Amino acid sequence: MDIRKKRVNDLWFTEEQTSNMKLSLRLSEVLLNKSSQYQDILLVETQEYGRMLVLDGAIQITERDEFFYSEMMAHVALCSHPSPRRVLIIGGGDGATLREVLRHGSVEMATLVDIDEEVIDASRRFLPTISVALDDPRADVRPMDAMEYIKSCRGEYDVVIVDSTDPVEFAAGLFRAPFYRDVFNALKEDGMIVAQTESPISDTHVVKGAFREMQSVFPIVKICWGVMPTYPSGMWTYTIGSRMHDPAAVRRPAPDGTKYYTEDMHRAAFTIPPFLRDLLK
Ligand code: SAM
């Protein structure tokens, strides 16, 4: 993380997205800058993308572009499952994916398990449009390590959504087969998992690795992709493991009020360009 004050009223945040590429955003204000037990938490007001949450120097969410990501995280799986009633979100402490999940009237309960309660608190305090669903009566918010939580679940969930940080430290296990095996057991017999699996341009090893690890557990595994302006390379992947249903098929209509996801965008997201197909071979 590099916050440099060049002169009065010229404050920038820079993320080193790869060792050879940086993204800088001009700030108007620093709202919160602290360390939790797990990570450094920074909340800033940017001039281009509104308020922005940064964890350990990596951009997590901005007010202006979060819909590209949170709608893909939620609606691809929820619209290809015939009747999603119980949903588990792993990570996602900002609340954006939860807000999208609860747009589905079929969802009776959405459990959100984020290891870091201070991320949840910071989002409640500084990101009201993003965290709005954290206090919904259908939301069950649990601050704990999802690697532990998932071990106690058996055949309970229709959809599990892994909205995690990058695969380092306490999030690394969320991209590996033993965790996917626990998720498989936590799902109902026609359940599915969707995981954010990083950039197919900047993080090829993660995309490839997560796909292979998931394939070792789930009978059906597909990848889809979307735009995400403030994440490295701007192109983002979502990998879906399914016990029964083809996740590329749309079985339910998109909820009202989406800004990126539609049934056509769902189908388009599974159209895989040759470079990505080759990466997964
Ligand atoms: N959309 C974001 C991205 O891809 O950059 C992720 C947003 S969300 C803020 C990520 C959350 O995952 C963080 O709040 C972090 O605390 C949580 N997380 C990481 N590892 C976890 C684990 N093992 N159990 C539960 N939550 C975890």
Q: Please list the rounded mean pLDDT of every run of 10 residues in the chain (281 residues).
A: 61 96 97 98 98 98 98 98 98 98 98 98 98 98 98 98 94 97 98 98 97 98 98 98 98 97 98 98 91
How many angstroms separate the alpha carbon of residue 168 from the centre of ligand 1? 11
Protein residue whose Cα sits closest to atom 18 of ligand 1: 91
- Mutating to test ligand 1, I would choose from 65, 115, 194, 233 the residue with most ligand atoms within 8 A of its C-beta, which is 115
Q: Which CATH number fits domain 11-62: 2.40.10.10, 2.30.140.10, 3.30.420.40, 3.40.50.2300?
A: 2.30.140.10
**pLDDT per residue as tens digits for the range 215-240:** 999 999 999 999 999 999 999 999 99
pLDDT score for 8: 57
**pLDDT per residue as tens digits for the range 190-215:** 999 999 999 999 999 999 999 999 99
Q: Please work out whether the CB of residue 90 comes within 6 Å of at least one atom of ligand 1.
A: yes
Protein residue whose Cα sits closest to atom 1 of ligand 1: 60
> What CA–CA distances, in Å, run from 23 to 4, 15, 125, 232?
13, 5, 26, 8
The tokens 């499952």 sit on which residue? 81
264 catalytic? Reply is no
pTM (2 d.p.): 0.96
Question: CATH topology for 66-280?
Answer: Rossmann fold (3.40.50)
Query: Torsion angle of alpha carbons 60, 64, 67, 70, nearest 10°?
Result: 10
Where in the sequence of the chain do the CATH 2.30.140.10 domains occur?
11-62
Cβ atoms of 272 and 240 within 8 Å: the answer is no
